[in-house]
Amino acid sequence: MRTMWIISRREFKRYFSTPAAYLVAFLFLLVLGIIFYANIQASVMQSMMMGGYAPGPEIIVSPMVTLFLFIIPAITMRLLAEEQRLGTIELLLTSPVRDAELVVGKWLGSFMLVLSLIAITLLYPVALNQLVDPGIDWGVALTGFLGLVLMTAALTALGTAISALFNNQIAAFVATLALFLALWLLSLPAHGMGNTIWHYLDFSQHFYDTMARGILDLRDIIYYLSVVAFGLFSGALIIQTRRWR
């Protein structure tokens, strides 16, 4: 356990040793700020035309989901791929570090960066609460952010596993992004099919149909935690196969 925390802290600090983390954070907050401003302006116009309309937390949470689909592959692509490119993975595999500790430590370090970005964006619902009357529904806002944390944890775990497959960061980025988009496209066959396997595997419906609306469903929490476990287990298994080559 101690080794895992050492790896995670080292990985988290490593992001800020280069301009990459600052650039990702700047672009993320810039784009989100532009979208937030545009949504506020649109809601003001709609309120003037229709009357009584007040934007909710969904104008913050929904754009963040889309942004993280592209940001998380950039965050996770180097986790294990760079170690393999530099040859340092061999040192890790011959050191007294368990495969699971290595993968979980790498995942936790990258997830801490994602959590930092989410924490900063909590300023947006606070600002929105001051702009609308009588204020936003904080139950919906907090449930939406909880769903966002669970979803990004699952995506980061999958990105960590894919990074273990490659020794090229760009290849890891493309493969991770392709997987994320494929998980989102599952909503097309799942739409209108009821409780089928496609409906359950649809990554987005576990968020948009419940948590984004302020509904906390235990099945959605179990789903995302299961994806986290699957991603970390897959990453550890990939590393283990490399150890025995």
Domain, as residue range, for 237:
2-243
Apex CA 60: angle with CA 146 and CA 24, to 5°? 85
Query: What is the pLDDT of the chain when averaged over all its residues?
Result: 82
Residue 190 clears pLDDT 60, i.e. is over it:
no
Identify the pLDDT of residue 119.
Answer: 93
Which percentage of the chain shows pLDDT scores above 70? 83
Average pLDDT over residues 182-192: 67
Q: Which two tokens stand for residue 14?
A: 């490593």
Q: Which two tokens stand for residue 5?
A: 């925390």
DSSP, collapsed to helix, strand or coil, labels residue 113 as helix
No. of helices (H) and no. of strands (E), the chain: 13, 0
Of the pLDDT bands very low, low, confident and very high (cuts 50, 70, 90), residue 244 is low
Q: How far apart are CA 108 and CA 92, in angstroms?
A: 17
* 53 or 71: which leads in pLDDT: 71
Question: What are the tens digits of pLDDT across the range 2-47?
Answer: 778 888 888 888 888 878 788 888 888 899 889 888 877 776 666 5
Residue 133 clears pLDDT 60, i.e. is over it:
yes
b vs e for 109-123, b when ≥16 Cβ sit within 10 Å of the residue's Cβ?
A: bbbbbbbebeeebee
Average pLDDT over residues 92-112: 82
CB 220 within 8 A of CB 207: yes
Identify the pLDDT of residue 111.
Answer: 94
Distances (CA, A) of 223 to 33, 201, 219: 30, 9, 6
Question: What are the tens digits of pLDDT across the range 137-186?
Answer: 788 889 999 999 999 999 999 999 999 888 888 999 999 999 998 888 77
Residue 197 clears pLDDT 80, i.e. is over it:
no
Instruction: Select, from the ranges 22-26, 110-114, 193-197, the one with the highest average predicted confidence (pLDDT).
Output: 110-114
CB 143 within 8 A of CB 59: no
Q: Hey, what amino acid is at 123? A: L
Q: Which two tokens stand for residue 38?
A: 């545009």
- Count structural domains, the chain: 1
Identify the pLDDT of residue 192.
Answer: 54
Identify the pLDDT of residue 217.
Answer: 85
* 197 or 109: which leads in pLDDT: 109
